[in-house]
Amino acid sequence: MAETKNQYDMRDPRDQYPQPPFPRQPQEKPGFTEKMDPRPDHGEESYRGFGRLKGRKALITGGDSGLGRAAVIAYIREGASVVFNYLPEEQEDADSLIALAEAEGGTIHAIPGDLRDPDLCAALIVKTVELLGGLDILVCNAGHQVRQPGIEDVSHEQFDETMKTNVYAMFWLCKAAVKIMPPGAAIINLTSNQGFSPAPYLLDYATTKFAIRGFTEALAQGALDKGIRVNAIAPGPFWTPLQPSGGQTQDKVEQFGKATPMGRPGQPAELAPTFVFLASQESSYISGEIFGATGGKPIS
């Protein structure tokens, strides 16, 4: 990767980060950051905070790696206190993130657990309030994706896991959160370009991303009665452990992101400012919107 700079230095976006081809790098689910080549940029060196979330209290699911990790780093550096959730087998990534945040003086707590459990989702909201004294920002980021050739290859177990991780967990978390979040709070959900242009080899995943779009737009209208804003982000191909650990075939990993107008995948750090914007008062007149981040390919 080229010399690290902060996110405000002007550069040609096409060669700002590594471009394919990438080496084959199969991993077992859920995948680990340190095993990726090249290593993703979550903003560890590049993100600069300005206190835009000072005093806010945030819960982020899937915060140990990928887009969630970038959101955690950005929120900590913008002055927020953070609780993040992760799968127990992702302890290595979780530990490195905790160490980074604590070294910078940030307030951070990590709670392991499988979001397919509705009791865990409810407990996450309660525990966040206990640890931080409230909840102002909820980021439903955790997701499950497995590429399969066609519908006949998608097992009942896979379909169920994808639905519960991507949709049910979001419902359980948001239902518990809106009861206690104050006016001015923000919910950010993660949909995808697959929620606009579905691929047959991501049938179950794309189905959930369409559901997240509809859920976000509907919830946003009702939540405003409580002064809570709800928006979603629709990423395209981003370089995260989700991809080499079953989200893509190794042939696709080698050329991941090449088909975008940018000619490369996005890096998690590139989405961090969007997470901050949608959580901050800067976006006070924005609710019910879907923000695309697809490397130049329009979503519609």
pLDDT per residue over 81-140, tens digit each?
Answer: 999 999 999 999 999 999 999 999 999 999 999 999 999 999 999 999 999 999 999 999
Whether the per-residue pLDDT at 273 is higher than 90: the answer is yes
Token look-up 């600069």 returns 48
Spatial distance between the Cα atoms of 28 and 244, rounded to a whole number of angstroms: 8
Whether the per-residue pLDDT at 226 is higher than 80: the answer is yes
Task: Give CATH for domain 51-293.
Answer: 3.40.50.720
Q: Count Cα neighbours of 67 within 13 Å in the Cβ-side half-sphere.
A: 27
List the one residue out of 208, 200, 199 whose CA is nearest residue 232. 208
3-state class percentages of the chain: helix first, strand second, coil last, to nearest 5: 45, 15, 45
Residue 285 falls in the annotated catalytic set: no
pLDDT for res 3:
47
- What three-state secondary structure class fits 93? helix
Please provide residue 110's backbone torsions phi and psi, each rounded to the nearest 5 degrees.
Answer: -120, 135
Per-residue pLDDT of 20-53, as tens digits, reads 999 999 998 888 888 999 999 999 999 999 999 9
Q: Which of 17, 75, 86, 205 is catalytic?
A: 205
pLDDT for res 2:
44
Whether the per-residue pLDDT at 251 is higher than 50: the answer is yes
Cis bond upstream, residue 30 (ω within 30) = yes
Close Cβ partners of 43 (under 8 Å, ≥ 6 residues apart): 7, 70, 73, 74, 77, 268, 269, 272
User: Given pLDDT bands bounded at 50, 70 and 90, which one contains residue 242?
Assistant: confident
Kindly report the pTM of this predicted structure. 0.95
Spatial distance between the Cα atoms of 190 and 142, rounded to a whole number of angstroms: 8
